[in-house]
Amino acid sequence: MEANGGGGGLEDGGGGHALANGALANGEGHALANGVANGGGQAAAMEEAGGAVGNGGLQVMVAANGVAPAQAVAALNPDALYQVFLRLPAQEIARCRGVCSLWRDITDTDAFRGEHHRHPYRTPMPLIFIQDPDLDSLRAYDVRDSVSRPVVRFPNHHHEVFRIHGSHDGILLLSSGDRLYACNPCTRRWEHLPPLHVHNHIIGFYAVGMDDENGNLFRCQVLYHNRREPNCEYWIFELGEEAPLPWSIGRSNLDEDVHLDLVLANGIAPSYTIPPVCVHAIFLFWLPQAAWANSDILMFDTAALSFFLIPPPTIQVDGEDIPVGVGGQLLEIAEHLAMAVFSPERVVVWVRSNINNLWSRRYIIPLHQNGAGGMVAVARDRSDLVQCPLIVHAHHGTFHSRYTIEENLLLHAAILPMEDADAVDGDPPFFQNQ
C-alpha cells in the first residue's frame, strides 16, 4: 500500500481525554475534581460510583464499595453529562453511545450533534499515515493534547495507492486504487463517487451550502482538471443524488489575465500532493508551483467559479521587493489568509488583510526543533498556532498527509447516504476495526 504524503515521522500514541476518579479537564483546561460540571454550577458527584473515562472511551468502573455500573450511570445528572459530552472528541462520543441507553439518548440527537459541531473545543488535527506489516492506518494528531487518534484503517496487501484528495468539516475524500469515496470516519457514513481521479487531477474539495441550522451539508463539490497540459480544462462535480451532472468551467478567468490563463493551462498539482487552504468557507488558495514559473498565489472563488492571482508577501532587499514563502504553508487565521514561512530556527507568519489585501508580518515563533518539513495547525478559535512535531517512530513508517481533519458527528445524510452496515466484502476498504 502506497500512501500520499511526505516528510517526517510521528510517534503513534493513545487517544482521548481522561476523566479519572470523576474529574474532567474541560475545553478551558480547568479540572472539576470528583465531579462533573453541568455548565450551570451544579455537579454530579462521582467519587462513590468510581466514575472514570479512559482514553479508549468512556467506561463506568465498579467502585471499591460495590456500586454497580448501572447504578453509577443512573445517578449522573443528564445535564452534567450533556456538558461533558460536548467537550469530548467526536470519536469518543461515538464510543460512548454503546455504554447505555441514557448516554445514547443524550448524544444521538440532531440538536446535540449541531451544538457539538459548533463547540470551540474542536480543533483541526494533522492527519498522519502509519504503515504496519498488514494493516495501515490514518491517524489524527491532536496538537493540544499531544496524542494521536485512529481515523481509518485499511489493508495494505492489495498494493493499491491510498490517497487523501480532500478534507472538509470532518468529511474525507479518499481513493483506493481506482475507487473514490467520500466518508465521515466518526459517523462511518460514506458514498461511492465516480473515479474522477483516474484520468483527471482532483485539486479541491469544498462545501457551498448548508441544509439546516445544525450545519449538515447538502452541497459539496469536487474541483478537478483533465490533465491535458498545456490546455487543461476545469470541471466541477457535486455530491448528492439530486446533484447535476459534472460541468465544465473551462479556465474561468474574469480578468482575462493572459498570465493567469497560462498558469491554468499548465495545470494545478493534484490535491494529494499540494492541498489548497479554504478561507471564509468560500475561497481556495494554492501556493506557487514550479510549473507556473511565477511566485503568485492562485485563488479560486467557489461562488463565482473563477480563478485569480494574488501577490505573495514580500521583503525588500537592496530596494527590490523579493517574494517570500518558497516552501512555506498556507493556512487560515481568524478568516484571513496566512502564510507560515519556515526556517530551522523559527516560523514567520504573514497575514493578509481582507480590507486592503496587503500582507503584514504578524508572528515570529521560535522553534525548539528543526522546522524544516514541519507543519502548523490552528485551533478553531484561532488562538493557538502549534507546530506538529516530527518524531521518528521506531517500528512503523510514518508520513504526513499534508491534510487536517476537524472531526464531527453530523450525519450529512444528503451527501453520505451509505452506512457502516452497507459495506460489503471490504468495500469500502478503510472501515476496518479500530
- Could you tell me if residue 320 is inside a domain? no
Regarding whether 276 and 189 lie in a shared domain, the answer is yes
Regarding whether 303 and 180 lie in a shared domain, the answer is yes
Higher pLDDT pick, 133 / 8: 133
Q: Is the pLDDT of residue 60 over 90?
A: no
Sheet holding 57-60, edge to edge: 31-32, 23-25, 19-20, 51-54, 57-60
- Could you tell me if residue 55 is inside a domain? yes
The arithmetic mean of pLDDT across residues 77-81, rounded, is 86
Regarding whether 144 and 96 lie in a shared domain, the answer is no
What pLDDT, in 10s, does the model give residues 9-19? 333 333 332 22
On whether the CB atoms of residues 357 and 285 are closer than 8 A, the answer is no
Regarding whether 130 and 33 lie in a shared domain, the answer is no
The pairs formed by 192-199 with CB atoms below 8 angstroms and a separation of 24 or more are 192/418, 193/222, 193/237, 193/239, 194/237, 194/246, 196/222, 196/224, 196/237, 196/246, 197/163, 197/165, 197/224, 197/270, 199/226, 199/227
Higher pLDDT pick, 215 / 129: 129
Side-chain half-sphere of 29: how many Cα atoms within 13 Å? 2
pLDDT of residue 426: 73
Higher pLDDT pick, 290 / 186: 186
- Could you tell me if residue 327 is inside a domain? no
Regarding whether 114 and 131 lie in a shared domain, the answer is no
Least confident interval from 31-40, 106-115, 133-142: 31-40
pLDDT of residue 360: 93
Q: Is the pLDDT of residue 130 over 70?
A: yes
Q: Which of 73, 97, 118 is the last residue of a domain?
A: 118
- For residue 207, the SS3 value is strand
- Could you tell me if residue 87 is inside a domain? yes
Q: What range defines the domain where residue 29 resides?
A: 19-118
Q: Which of 118, 139, 156 is the last residue of a domain?
A: 118
What pLDDT, in 10s, does the model give residues 235-271? 999 998 888 899 999 998 777 788 899 899 999 999 9
Regarding whether 162 and 191 lie in a shared domain, the answer is yes
> In this structure, how many other beta carbons lie within 10 angstroms of the beta carbon of residue 201?
22
- Could you tell me if residue 70 is inside a domain? yes
What pLDDT, in 10s, does the model give residues 196-241? 999 999 999 999 876 666 666 668 999 999 988 888 999 999 998 8
Provide the mean pLDDT of the chain: 74
Q: What angle do CA 107, 138, 420 make, to 5 degrees?
A: 45
Alpha helices in 108-209 (DSSP H): 110-118, 196-199
- CA-CA distance, 88 to 93, in Å (whole number)? 7
Regarding whether 26 and 6 lie in a shared domain, the answer is no
DSSP state of 219: E
pLDDT of residue 331: 87
Q: How far is CA 28 from CA 83, 120, 262, in A?
A: 13, 10, 49
Regarding whether 194 and 61 lie in a shared domain, the answer is no
Distance of CA 12 to the CA centre of its chain: 18
- Could you tell me if residue 31 is inside a domain? yes
Residue 8 — very low, low, confident or very high, per pLDDT cuts 50/70/90? very low
Regarding whether 66 and 164 lie in a shared domain, the answer is no
Regarding whether 36 and 133 lie in a shared domain, the answer is no
> In this structure, how many other beta carbons lie within 10 angstroms of the beta carbon of residue 335?
11
Regarding whether 195 and 260 lie in a shared domain, the answer is yes
Least confident interval from 46-55, 138-147, 161-170, 180-189: 46-55
> In this structure, how many other beta carbons lie within 10 angstroms of the beta carbon of residue 345?
9
Q: Is the pLDDT of residue 103 over 80?
A: yes
Q: Which of 85, 118, 151 is the last residue of a domain?
A: 118
First to last CA, the chain: 18
- Could you tell me if residue 367 is inside a domain? no
Q: 328: closest CA among 346, 312, 340?
A: 340
Q: Is the pLDDT of residue 34 over 60?
A: no
Regarding whether 180 and 86 lie in a shared domain, the answer is no
Number of domains in the chain: 2
Higher pLDDT pick, 378 / 140: 140
- CA-CA distance, 32 to 38, in Å (whole number)? 10
- Could you tell me if residue 227 is inside a domain? yes
Which residues, including other chains, have CB under 8 Å from residue 89's CB and lie 6 or more apart? 15, 16, 17, 142, 149, 407
Side-chain half-sphere of 381: how many Cα atoms within 13 Å? 9
